[in-house]
Structure 1
Amino acid sequence: MADNKAVIAVLGGTGHEGAGLAARWAKAGYRVVIGSRDAGRAADAAAEMAAKTGGDVRGLANADAAAAGEIVVLAVPYAGQKALANDVRAQLEGKILIDVTVPLVPPKVARVQLPEGGSAVEALQKDLGEGVRVVAAFQNVSAHQLADLDAEVNCDVLVAGDDIEARETVVQLARAIGITALHAGPLANSAAAEALTSVLIAINKRYKVADGAGIRITGIPDLA
């Protein structure tokens, strides 16, 4: 029942990656709030997603969505990551923030370009302070795979965060939508996932991978 599950707000939920995650959580019975700069656009996207998934989906402006969410997902391009997070800082206090950010710098998106100091997500944690538990996840999941709600997501997810309890919450949220998720250590380790995205983009281009290449971690015992 949705009443027993957290309300998930997805800021950037009208974009490809955010919409894919939001739709899968809605289909799995979570109450979802789509956030956008334009409340009308968010409402339209939410209505379409609710019809598609049969789920409980609302659309609000970003700040209102962040306030409504018990867990907040930041799924916007790197160029807008810090500005949006700081705009809704007050609404994030005391919550888990799942950051999907990858530091891609167009047009050279197939080249690793990590920010000075390493992880873009770790830098955001320092900006927001200890009152927000930032967890990095889903950077390497193809939006094409997420969009096909009837298909299995054919890759693993690395989940990094300094708060182990918050990390476990995100691991379980990933598993709830059929994605194998693994604890990948502290937030600093998200630099590996952020860099890996550019590597996967290069692989997609070279081998013409339509649905997006992914990773699998071997040697792990049964996670069921």
Structure 2
Amino acid sequence: MSSISILGLGTYARALGTLGVKAGNTVEVIGRDPAKAADLARELGGGATAGTFGAAPAGDIVILAVPYASAVPVVAQYGDALAGKVVIDISNTFTAADSTELVTPEGSSGAQEIAKAVPASAHVVKAFNTVFAHVLVLGPPLDVFFAGDDARAKASVSAFIESLGLRPLDVGSLEMAHWLEGAGLLMMGLAGHGAGFNIALGVDLLS
């Protein structure tokens, strides 16, 4: 099992926290509002705890469950407190007002921009951004695509995904995060043009 710290108190933090606790992982939730963090930890049960915002996260894996616009400032504020951690970026890099364009620099991705802001010993892995939070809580069978540059970090993330009863699919280096974020746009396009939001992106493995 994994030791997880979730930065954020929103819908996705609740979804991942719920699945994480159910799977037997050690879960810490962290937010700027200590009372809300404590409430979420109690709601999750299973020994989940509330951490202190800005202090070193307890988990070996730190999940950034915050909007992309907040992600880089948050990791910059944490600084060396993230040293040695595996940092999972779940964000999608488009605005709510216009779900047709990515807001990241040309040739980059949100995950790559976050990787520039974390300590050198931390490793960023892109994951979960192609699964809607409300679909995630429905559980398996679901595919979770992930990308990163460090093999050990990716192995940790893969094991965590598997612990949730989901299927991890490695798409390559962190440069591939740009295309995963593009897939997030694809999901929004599908949802908004007839498919609805109760959908999931997956791969059929043919024999």
Report if aligned partners of 1:112, 1:199 keep a CA contact under 8 Å in 2: no
Contact persistence 2:82–2:119 (CA under 8 A) = no
Match of 2:147 in 1: 160
Q: Across the two proteins, how many residue pairs are aligned to each other?
A: 206
**What is the Cα deviation at residue 114 of structure 1?**
4.3
Mapped contact 1:10–1:22 kept (Cα < 8 A): yes
Q: Which residue of 2 aligns with 1:42?
A: 37
Cα distance in 1 between the residues matched to 2:86 and 2:206: 26
| Counterpart for residue 207 of structure 1 | 194
Residues 112-170 of structure 1, C-alpha deviations (whole Å, 9 max, x = no match): 314113211012112224211111100111111223xxx33443111100001111111
Q: Which runs of 5+ in 2 are unaligned?
A: none
Instruction: Give runs of ≥4 in structure 1 deviating > 2 Å.
Output: 60-64, 151-155, 218-221
Once superposed, what is the RMSD of the aligned Cα atoms?
1.7
1:219 matched to 2:187? The reply is no
**Change beyond 3 A, Cα 1:46–1:198:** same
2:183 corresponds in structure 1 to 196
Aligned partner of 1:24 in structure 2 is 19
Between the aligned partners of 1:69 and 1:108, the Cα distance in structure 2 is 34
Q: Are 1:15 and 2:10 counterparts?
A: yes
**1: distance between equivalents of 2:114 and 2:51?**
23
Task: Name the SS for the 1:63 alignment partner.
Answer: coil
Distance 2:145 2:139 in 1: 17
Pick from 50, 56, 61 the counterpart of residue 52 of structure 2. 61
* Cα separation, 2, equivalents of 1:162 and 1:85: 18
Distance 1:92 1:183, change over 3 A: same
Amino acid at match of 2:33: D
TM-score by length of 2: 0.92
Residues 124, 148 of structure 2: 8 Å contact kept: yes
8 Å CA contact 1:114, 1:194 repeated in 2: no
Contact 1:114 1:191 in 2 (8 A): no
Runs (5+) with no aligned partner, structure 1 = none
Distance 1:70-1:220 versus aligned 2 partners, 3 A rule: farther
Q: What residue number does 2:68 align with?
A: 78
- The 8 Å contact of residues 154 and 214 in structure 1, kept in 2 or not, is answered as no
Provide the identity percentage: 28
Aligned to 1:113: 102
Secondary structure of the structure 1 residue equivalent to 2:66: coil
Within 1, Cα distance between the matches of 2:184 and 2:74? 22
Alignment TM-score, normalising by the size of structure 1: 0.86
